[in-house]
Amino acid sequence: MAVSPERANALMLSPMVRQGAGDQRLPSPTTLQYVSVEAREGITTGISASDRARTLQILGSSSIQPRMLVKPGHIFPVQTREGGVLVRTAIPEGALDLVRMSGHTDAAVFVDLLSDQGENLTLEQAKERGRKEAIPTILLSDLIQHRLQKEPLVRRVAEAVLPTTLAGEVRAIVYRSTISDVEHIALVKGELDGDSTILVRVQAEQTIGDVFGGTSQPSRSHLLNSLKAVGERGCGIILYLRRPFMSDGGSAVQPITEPPLRSVTKMREYGIGAQILRELGVKKVELLTSTTRSLEGLPSFGITVVAQIPIPDLITSKEHFV
């Protein structure tokens, strides 16, 4: 059962400890399970379906009563992270997000789907089971995209005029994430017109490469060349996104299948970028990019990609160091 940190504290759940290492607690994010629990009353051995259901009812009740539980038992509460699937792509976070979105408590039961032979179902088998039982089937990536589309995840907190060598004066607008304590920045050149197509570069933070340069990391080169391209155009936006928003942290509870971490990270990257662009009043963009891959998912966030433009090589490698 996935539970929020607040519910885990209220229920006085205890983290699992390292076997053979005294009372040393497993370091996060390896710690995923709390000590198993059982209903104190209303059950027999605790192992039957009805007994487990009774324990789950107590764990998920709107009236939290830790004295109604004993340890150990047959139900394992599982730790989740604040921010859900937007912070970690894992089944506990996905289950809890769905339950919360449905208007229920901050606890969610999740189970493995097994074949008649006792093996985990493949994705196609799971979809077929869903069709047979009339149960909707989604991927974690679907849930991530839905939340990025529907939930306001950034707010403007500061703005200043910033002089730059490559683009002249730009407006530096800082946005704070509502689900993690990080800030993103938009460097805006010129006056933005919601009906016009705006040159945009969305770039994720690479602190070492961006600040100190180097030949092995193209990140600084992409940033400087994009900034110069925006300056020459006279109007455009550089979105610089902090990495902590997109960190997954890993999980010992994995879904049947999920997109590669890189594609999920890109989805978050462009989803949060799209929210900032919408706040700035931008609807159509020419996207400066270092890849030839199609970004078909971006329009689903309300932004039309008119064209993908390769980042121009305007600055030589010798100019990467200041």
- The tens digit of pLDDT for each residue in 51-73 reads 999 999 999 999 999 999 999 99
- Is the domain spanning 2-137 CATH 3.90.870.10? The answer is yes
How far apart are the C-alpha atoms of 204 and 207, rounded to whole Å?
Answer: 9
pLDDT category of residue 24 using cuts at 50, 70 and 90? very low
pLDDT at site 212: 76
Residue 230 pLDDT exceeds 50: yes
Closest residue by Cα to residue 59 from 45, 47, 73:
73
| Residue 100, pLDDT score | 93
Residue 208: pLDDT band (50, 70, 90) is: confident
Q: Say whether pLDDT at 166 is over 90.
A: yes
**How many whole angstroms separate alpha carbon 239 and alpha carbon 233?**
16
Class of the domain covering 149-320: alpha beta
What pLDDT band is residue 292 in, cutting at 50, 70 and 90?
low
Model confidence, pTM: 0.74
What residue spans define the domains of the chain?
2-137, 149-320
- For residues 166 and 24, the model is more confident at 166
List of residues 6+ apart from 289 with CB closer than 8 A: 201, 295, 308, 309, 310, 311
Question: How sure is the predictor about 161, in pLDDT bands with cuts at 50, 70 and 90?
Answer: very high
Q: Any residues with CB less than 8 A from the CB of 46 and at least 6 apart, and which?
A: 38, 39, 52, 55, 73, 74
Note the pLDDT tens digit of each residue in 124-157. 999 999 999 999 999 998 999 899 888 888 999 9
| Helix, strand, coil share of the chain (percent; to 5) | 35, 25, 40
Q: Which of 37-46, 49-58, 311-320 has the lowest mean pLDDT?
A: 311-320
Instruction: Check residue 263 and give its pLDDT.
Output: 65
Question: End-to-end alpha-carbon separation of the chain, Å?
Answer: 53
